[in-house]
């Protein structure tokens, strides 16, 4: 098993089914329908720049909410008995195993007009619409990706050596400074991989906004989906821009932490 | 003081769990509703009956399962071989291969879907084929293999190289040394790679959506089509059954883990 030949099928596979398709996106983005070189697709893509910005904002807000919800949860988890830890983690994973579309659909039922939430709040005298707005899209995103934030943060936190915490306490640190000077800095790799795992899919996904959002809550993924079937070139240009953005984001995240946390 | 924190932490976890399960509970209740809408009209199992009569949906379910099995099977073989090969590279070339290998994991699903669609339409024009079962299978293998590689490589690194050398010294050829020695060391990595591939393949919508062609449907794309037409209550029944299946599988895995742990603990005390 010293041989490197075993990698050859995989390298060929990656070349044909990963690298060449990406190059094809690049080529398609710079050509017109007849195959001549042009910047036209990017000019057309520019029309969607506000959708692009809105997608990034929605993704950022969702990521931030996931972090705010997940961090205390992960911290509380590490304080529990091992068996209860495993139960809670399992409970978090179960909804993830249901189909992506069914999870979103479940929120459509819950939030719809005269749906359970509407009925319950009406009894309390609160009336409103809970679907068809940006907030509903963000709720959907948070629901979809919350476990992706909890799991890496929890994994990193549970590996923190309890001896370090005891040492800090022996040296006179109170609860707040134990948290701020030991636990928080040591959990940063988990935060970084959690943020990456939530931000990338929520910035690029589609359907969530179609089902839960209003007419102006279109995200860039929906635009790519809609446009690609009729105008490959513009679709490719938007995909390329999105890919560049995401890679810049990954590089920035990489600067904050060591590489292993990202991969 | 300590007790107070215990209660508030339980409350917090309970709130998160309500958030995670409220939509599912609502869906389960709705699946037993006689009426067509959310308004409660009485208990009935009729949507479950209709579900099994829906030939398109049952076909899609079968496609999803067979694609998931085949994709994770081929990815496991391809990925394990690749991991062993990559492990023999050193330094820079190894880093490059691993980074390229991680590419499908970090790049957004939609970009992968779109790029594969471009490739398949291009190749389809040359070799005269249309997108369908085959192209979906290839695409699923594409995003599954990296997970296998990621899971197997750490196991290989932890393995004691001299065990393999000893097998060779004792007269095994390379292949025998692999299936008699190496595979036992790395099998947990292979299994978790396989399971990850399987779950990702089951859940995939975006990549299938772009590479399915005109006739093929898996569960996700079939649900997508159903939701576009109108919202049939059979979907609630389907979700409930899927949820039950997930719960059962999770419980089985959990039971197996606990038994293994207990066995480990027993052997540990015995050797002591």
The complex's ipTM? 0.86
What pLDDT sits at residue B111? 92
Q: Which of A74, A41, A29 is nearest to A193 (CA)?
A: A74
How is chain A split into domains, by residue range?
48-262
Residues of chain A predicted below pLDDT 50: 259-263
Top CATH class of A48-262 equals mainly alpha
What pLDDT sits at residue B221? 92
Instruction: State how far the Cα of B35 lies from the Cα of B44, in Å rounded to an integer.
Output: 9
Q: Is the pLDDT of residue B1 over 80?
A: no
- Taking CA atoms, B177 is separated from B48, B82, B168, B266, in Å, by 52, 17, 6, 30
Chain B residues within an 8 Å CB radius of A11? 82, 97
What is the band of B100 on the pLDDT scale with cuts at 50, 70, 90? Answer: confident
* Residues 6 or more apart whose Cβ sits within 8 Å of residue A156: A186, A187, A189, A190, A261
Q: Which of A220, A164, A166, A215 is nearest to A187 (CA)?
A: A164
Highest mean predicted confidence (pLDDT) among A159-163, B65-69, B157-161 = B65-69
Using the beta-carbon criterion (under 8 Å), do B85 and A4 form an inter-chain contact?
yes
Q: Is the pLDDT of residue B142 over 70?
A: yes
What pLDDT sits at residue A2? 61
What pLDDT sits at residue B235? 84
The mean pLDDT of B4-30, rounded to a whole number, is 88
Which of helix, strand or coil describes residue A208? Answer: helix
> What CATH fold (topology level) applies to the domain B56-232?
MetI-like fold (1.10.3720)
* Residues 6 or more apart whose Cβ sits within 8 Å of residue B178: A1
What pLDDT sits at residue A261? 42
Q: Is the pLDDT of residue B270 over 70?
A: no
What pLDDT sits at residue B15? 94
Among residues of chain B, what percentage have pLDDT more than 90? 34
The mean pLDDT of B189-217, rounded to a whole number, is 90
What pLDDT sits at residue B269? 61
What pLDDT sits at residue A179? 85
* In the block, residue with structure tokens 């009569």: B53
Tell me how far apart the 2 most distant CA atoms of chain B are, in Å.
Answer: 75
The mean pLDDT of B247-269, rounded to a whole number, is 77
CATH 1.10.3720.10 residue spans of chain B: 56-232
Instruction: State how far the Cα of A74 lies from the Cα of A62, in Å rounded to an integer.
Output: 18
Residues 11-30, chain B: which have Cβ within 8 Å of A?
Answer: 12-13, 16-17, 19-24, 26-27, 30
| B33 DSSP 8-state letter | B
Q: Is the pLDDT of residue B272 over 60?
A: no
The mean pLDDT of B44-60, rounded to a whole number, is 87
Residues 81-110, chain B: which have Cβ within 8 Å of A?
Answer: 81-82, 84-86, 88-89, 97-98, 100-104, 106-110
Using the beta-carbon criterion (under 8 Å), do B23 and A106 form an inter-chain contact?
yes
Q: Is the pLDDT of residue B33 over 80?
A: yes
Q: Is the pLDDT of residue B136 over 90?
A: yes
- For residue B134, which phi and psi values (nearest 5 degrees)? -60, -45
Instruction: State how far the Cα of B196 lies from the Cα of B145, in Å rounded to an integer.
Output: 10
The mean pLDDT of B134-140, rounded to a whole number, is 96
Among positive and negative, which fits the CA dihedral B169, B173, B176, B178? positive
Burial A125-150 (b: 16+ CB within 10 A, else e): eeeeebbbbbebbbbbbbbbbbbbbb
The mean pLDDT of B264-271, rounded to a whole number, is 64
What pLDDT sits at residue B228? 80
What pLDDT sits at residue B231? 67
Beta bridge partners of B33: B43
Instruction: State how far the Cα of B62 lies from the Cα of B218, in Å rounded to an integer.
Output: 8
| Cβ-nearest to B107 among A4, A24, A243 | A243
Chain B residues within an 8 Å CB radius of A201? 108-109
Residue B29: CA count within 13 A, CB half-sphere = 15
What is the band of B74 on the pLDDT scale with cuts at 50, 70, 90? Answer: very high
Q: Is B171 exposed, middle or buried (0-12, 13-18, 19+ CB in 10 A)?
A: exposed
Q: Which of A250, A251, A246 is nearest to A52 (CA)?
A: A246
What pLDDT sits at residue A64? 97
The helix or strand, by DSSP H or E, that contains position B59, with its residue range, turns out to be helix B55-87
CB-based contact A1:B164 (threshold 8 Å): yes
- Count of A–B CB contacts within 8 Å? 219
What pLDDT sits at residue B71? 96
């Amino acid at each position: 098993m010293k041989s490197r030949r075993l990698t050859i099928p995989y390298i060929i596979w990656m070349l044909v089914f990963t690298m060449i398709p990406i190059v094809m996106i690049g080529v398609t983005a710079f050509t017109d329908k007849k195959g001549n070189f042009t910047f036209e697709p990017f000019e057309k893509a520019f029309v969607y720049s506000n959708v692009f910005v809105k997608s990034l904002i929605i993704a950022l807000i969702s990521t931030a909410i996931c972090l705010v919800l997940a961090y205390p949860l992960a911290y509380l988890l590490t304080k529990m008995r091992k068996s209860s830890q495993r139960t809670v983690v399992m409970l978090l994973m179960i909804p993830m195993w249901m189909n992506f579309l069914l999870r979103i659909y479940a929120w459509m039922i819950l939030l719809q007009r005269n749906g359970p939430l509407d009925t319950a709040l009406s009894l309390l005298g609160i009336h409103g619409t809970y679907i068809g707005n940006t907030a509903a899209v963000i709720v959907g995103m948070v629901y979809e990706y919350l476990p992706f934030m909890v799991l890496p943060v929890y994994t990193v936190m549970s590996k923190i050596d309890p001896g370090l915490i005891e040492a800090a306490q022996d040296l006179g640190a109170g609860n707040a400074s134990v948290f701020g000077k030991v636990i928080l800095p040591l959990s940063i790799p988990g935060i970084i991989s959690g943020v990456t795992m939530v931000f990338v899919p929520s910035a690029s996904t589609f359907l969530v906004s179609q089902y839960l959002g209003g007419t102006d809550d279109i995200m860039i993924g929906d635009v790519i989906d809609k446009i690609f079937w009729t105008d490959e070139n513009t679709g490719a240009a938007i995909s390329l821009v999105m890919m560049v953005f995401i890679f810049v984001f990954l590089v920035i995240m990489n600067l904050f932490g060591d590489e292993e946390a990202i991969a | 003081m300590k007790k107070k924190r215990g209660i508030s932490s339980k409350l917090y976890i309970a709130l998160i769990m309500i958030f995670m399960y409220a939509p599912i509970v609502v869906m389960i209740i709705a699946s037993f509703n006689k009426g067509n809408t959310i308004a409660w009209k009485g208990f009935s199992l009729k949507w479950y009956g209709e579900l099994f009569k829906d030939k398109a949906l049952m076909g899609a379910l079968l496609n999803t399962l067979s694609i998931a099995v085949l994709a994770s099977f081929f990815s496991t073989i391809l990925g394990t071989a690749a991991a062993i090969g990559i492990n023999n590279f050193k330094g820079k070339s190894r880093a490059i291969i691993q980074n390229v290998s991680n590419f499908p994991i970090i790049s957004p699903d939609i970009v992968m879907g779109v790029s594969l669609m471009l490739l398949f339409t291009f190749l389809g024009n040359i070799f005269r084929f249309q997108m369908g079962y085959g192209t979906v299978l290839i695409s699923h293998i594409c995003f599954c293999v990296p997970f296998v590689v990621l899971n197997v490589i750490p196991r290989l690194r932890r393995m004691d190289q001299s065990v393999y050398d000893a097998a060779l010294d004792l007269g095994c050829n390379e292949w025998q040394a692999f299936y008699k020695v190496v595979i036992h060391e790395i099998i947990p990595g292979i299994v978790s790679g396989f399971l990850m591939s399987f779950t990702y393949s089951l859940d995939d919508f975006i990549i299938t959506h772009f590479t399915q062609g005109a006739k093929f449907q898996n569960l996700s794309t079939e649900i997508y089509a159903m939701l576009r037409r109108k919202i049939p209550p059979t979907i609630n029944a389907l979700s409930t059954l899927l949820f039950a299946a997930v719960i059962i599988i999770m419980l089985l895995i959990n039971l197996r883990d606990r038994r293994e742990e207990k066995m480990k603990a027993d052997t540990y005390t015995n050797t002591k």
